[in-house]
Amino acid sequence: MDALAPARASDSQVERLCAFLSDPDALVRAGVASAIGSVPDHLGMKVAASLVRALALETDERAASALIDSTLRTARAEAGSFLALAGDASVVRSTPLLAKRVAAYRDSLVFIAAGQNEPQAIIDRTARAEALAAGSR
């Protein structure tokens, strides 16, 4: 998927990639979600909206995880409303780990807005905390 280079893709190419968010294969959906997390800033809100729409229909936890992470990457400091919608998705409500992740990302938005942190740093920090919590069980 990284070969698709969404960071340099045109608007129409990104739109075509977003169509794959409804692919029947969860692995494809997760891969596309991860790849489009690097779209140009001017497409961030449009892509975040597509990611949240896909998340509302998602049933696979791994694909949902990728959708949530890419929502933060694309919408950045403006991700609050998108993450609120993400928190309402049934896969998120039924998966405590995803619900905690969405809450952690929402709590971290203030740092992105203040320029104190990048979305990827927040994603990495949350993943480390999840791994530590999983190891202590």
- The 10s digit of each residue's pLDDT in 55-88 is 999 999 999 999 999 999 999 888 999 999 999 9
Domain region containing 98? 2-135
CB 92 within 8 A of CB 98: yes
- Of 133 and 99, the structure prediction assigns the larger pLDDT to 99
- Which pLDDT belongs to residue 13? 87
Please, which pLDDT band fits residue 117 given cuts at 50, 70 and 90?
confident
CB 127 within 8 A of CB 97: no
CA atoms of 102 and 80, how far apart (whole Å): 10
> Model's pTM, two decimal places?
0.89
Sort residue 76 into left (φ over 0), alpha (ψ -120 to 50) or beta. left
- For residue 106, is pLDDT > 90? yes
State the total domains in the chain.
Answer: 1
- Of 30 and 111, the structure prediction assigns the larger pLDDT to 30
- Which pLDDT belongs to residue 70? 96
CB 38 within 8 A of CB 54: no
**Residue indicated by tokens 């960071």:** 7
Phi then psi for residue 87, to 5 deg, are -65, -20
Please, which pLDDT band fits residue 135 given cuts at 50, 70 and 90?
confident
- Of 55 and 5, the structure prediction assigns the larger pLDDT to 55
Query: Can you tell me the mean pLDDT for 106-134?
Result: 89
- Which pLDDT belongs to residue 136? 72
